[in-house]
């Protein structure tokens, strides 16, 4: 998948969250208090695992990954990392922090992965 496509899908999902259209994507799996993209946005700096996400929505890892990829267009980990990179890009533009500090701040535990 190309970077532009990933950003487009991420923006589409962010719009869905903002516009209240999240039900279109996640109604079969989520109740009102559990909205995965919002959980990801609130916890992107933490170590979020597929197992954690599965426990939120009571899906097996296989079904969760399949569902997420089908409706979002990328894997859950890809979505989380893309979101982290967007936040890191904003930090690089607006702060004087080092790249290493920003990478750890947005949730990359290893500078090499950043």
pLDDT by residue (tens digit) across 52-91?
Answer: 888 877 788 998 888 888 878 889 889 899 999 999 999 9
Question: 96 falls in which pLDDT band (50, 70, 90)?
Answer: very high
**What's 14's domain CATH number?**
1.10.10.60
Question: 35 falls in which pLDDT band (50, 70, 90)?
Answer: low
pLDDT of residue 111: 74
Tell me which residue of 17, 6, 27, 21 sits closest to 76, measured CA to CA: 6
Question: 43 falls in which pLDDT band (50, 70, 90)?
Answer: confident
Query: Does residue 50 belong to any structural domain of this protein?
Result: yes
Token pair belonging to 113: 């992965």
The verdict on pTM exceeding 0.85 is: no
Query: Does residue 54 belong to any structural domain of this protein?
Result: yes
Query: Does residue 39 belong to any structural domain of this protein?
Result: yes
- C-beta separation of 37 from 22 below 8 A: yes
Can you give the residue range of the structural domain that contains 17? 3-105
Query: Does residue 111 belong to any structural domain of this protein?
Result: no
Total domains in the chain come to 1
């Amino acid at each position: 998948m190309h970077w532009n496509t990933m950003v487009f899908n991420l923006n589409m999902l962010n719009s869905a969250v903002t516009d209240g259209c999240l039900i279109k994507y996640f109604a079969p799996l989520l109740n009102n208090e559990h909205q995965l993209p919002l959980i990801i946005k609130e916890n992107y700096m933490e170590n979020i695992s597929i197992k954690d996400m599965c426990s939120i929505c009571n899906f097996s890892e296989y079904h969760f990954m399949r569902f997420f990829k089908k409706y979002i267009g990328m894997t859950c980990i890809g979505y989380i990392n893309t979101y982290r990179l967007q936040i890191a890009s904003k930090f690089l533009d607006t702060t004087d922090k080092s790249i290493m500090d920003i990478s750890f701040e947005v949730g990359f535990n290893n500078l090499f992965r950043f």
